[in-house]
Structure 1
């Protein structure tokens, strides 16, 4: 395989550094989904941990590194999940964590960031505006800027999910991975292409936030002026060049799905799997719904990457007719 920034030895070592509460998340075949989707479906459930998303795997590595370096403070931009995870990992290690988020981020995520002891600064605009503000704070205060997907620890932490997949006894043909900044896709993809190159790595992004998918298809960074999706966790406008380079090596495909399919996927995960998930976590099911013929008679793993959703919005999307 061509080289990426990731390293298998470091990924294996990450397993020994990450709090076990984030490791060995459930992987199970969800037969109740299969009659509707027309294929065998296994769920990798990354919501059964204290921050209800996969992000804790990466922040455990980052917070440990910062502690080793003698750092006492860090700042990050977040759509909500990274901020919660960094706050959790930082609190355990005595780090002063500041999270910059959009004022429009789900209230449940913002409340949880505060509850975990981080300082929260809200900005007008979207995630990329928050990223600019976090960088400015880091420069002004002389503290470490944590950048999701660019910091290799976020990718290699997520890559431990890939190790768990290849170590499982479950044979599968494809993995559907939510695509935002790229940490999850590049991390899991790197491991799969190293140890299970026959498994198809398919990234899924909302049509309303297509920057990384367009960049992957064009093999160059493509930015967008705006985003328009309920999947706030993957709604970036400006892909990071180094992350795109990694993605080009490990991804077999990148697809876009419509908002209606995301909502249908959330509803299906509730009705058939008993799972309350945020929109980003339903992207894999949305892809299955939109292209049943492609996946017919195959065994597909979908990574349910987060469960931090504003319940008022969830009721409007999923529960109300």
Structure 2
């Protein structure tokens, strides 16, 4: 399966004046250390603190009024829930979000502030999608998935489209992979810009469902992952994004937990960016696999910044003293 790039261009217009056009940042010091130009897309500065607003709003906006009248519902590890809550509020409809019981406090508070109804499930034993469908059927709610919908993928793809408008000479682009919507949308945007541009997904080694699935040629389900990147703890890639990523994604880089913490420290040191662990994963992939990336400028998506202060402080306290010089880990690119 693939998606016309026109769907992303349509989403650009839908999101105009709603989603912030987040900054593209570069650091002379980092570029010198790495020996190449790196552009960072700061989606942690997006409304709701992550790229997820783009897909959620695009999906809600393009539903017929009678479809969203009763309300919308979505399952999420946190950021999509916040985005859906805001999108629903913009259209004056109720939102229900199904989230893990151990959702970080900063994400729960954001959802509550936006007025969404919260339903929790057990991250390790619960069946989130089954619960979403049950609640949707019971209350006649419209489901807005976090990744598994063309409108959501197209909205996420506006991240890559914006990057290529500002840095059209990028030779590779790195994005975090959870459900796979951001990777799929970015890959479509990249193909429409330059078929030779290579897009790589990055995921924690302990949550490598997309890596395993791409190698197997079919979606693989893994045990409940344990990772500090709570937004990427998926057990299986979403169906539509996976079909696109099979065709367009150049590969998946897997990273260790300590590399995520180091990436958070580097993002603060070089860009003064506060990234949540999931948001720092693509940058960790850059440090991990730089020698294997195509020569030339690299784009990296910092996908979110919704992190509890205690978590953020703990990660930086452990890693900041060791990040004055960049690590030279053996690259692992699959």
TM-score (norm 2): 0.90
CA distance change for structure 1 residues 197 and 302 in 2, over 3 Å: closer, same or farther? same
- Please state if 1:222 is matched with 2:220: yes
The offset of 1:302, in angstroms, is: 0.3
The offset of 1:25, in angstroms, is: 1.7
Any unmatched runs of 5+ in structure 1?
A: none
- Please state if 1:14 is matched with 2:11: yes
- Please state if 1:246 is matched with 2:244: yes
Q: Quick check: 1:78–1:127 contact (8 Å CA) kept in 2? A: no
Cα distance in 1 between the residues matched to 2:133 and 2:88: 19
Q: Which residue of 1 aligns with 2:21?
A: 24
CA distance change for structure 1 residues 181 and 97 in 2, over 3 Å: closer, same or farther? same
Cα distance in 1 between the residues matched to 2:272 and 2:167: 24
Q: Which residue of 1 aligns with 2:170?
A: 172
Any unmatched runs of 5+ in structure 2?
A: 320-334
The more displaced of 128-137 and 298-307 is 128-137
Secondary structure (helix, strand or coil) at the match of 1:66 reads coil
Instruction: Say which of 76, 94, 97 aligns to 1:78.
Output: 76
Q: Which residue of 1 aligns with 2:122?
A: 124
Q: Which residue of 1 aligns with 2:51?
A: 54
Q: Which residue of 2 aligns with 1:280?
A: 278
The offset of 1:107, in angstroms, is: 1.0
Q: Which residue of 1 aligns with 2:94?
A: 96
Instruction: Say which of 64, 68, 71 aligns to 2:65.
Output: 68
- Count of residue pairs brought into register by the alignment: 318
Instruction: Say which of 141, 152, 158 aligns to 1:154.
Output: 152
Cα distance in 1 between the residues matched to 2:92 and 2:153: 23
TM-score (norm 1): 0.93
The offset of 1:295, in angstroms, is: 4.1
The more displaced of 158-167 and 120-129 is 120-129
Q: Quick check: 2:44–2:274 contact (8 Å CA) kept in 1? A: no
CA distance change for structure 1 residues 259 and 106 in 2, over 3 Å: closer, same or farther? same
Cα distance in 2 between the residues matched to 1:246 and 1:127: 29
Cα distance in 2 between the residues matched to 1:182 and 1:279: 17
Secondary structure (helix, strand or coil) at the match of 1:20 reads coil
The offset of 1:194, in angstroms, is: 2.2
Deviation string 1:227-247 (CA, Å, 9 cap, x unpaired) is 011111111002233321111
Q: Which residue of 1 aligns with 2:108?
A: 110
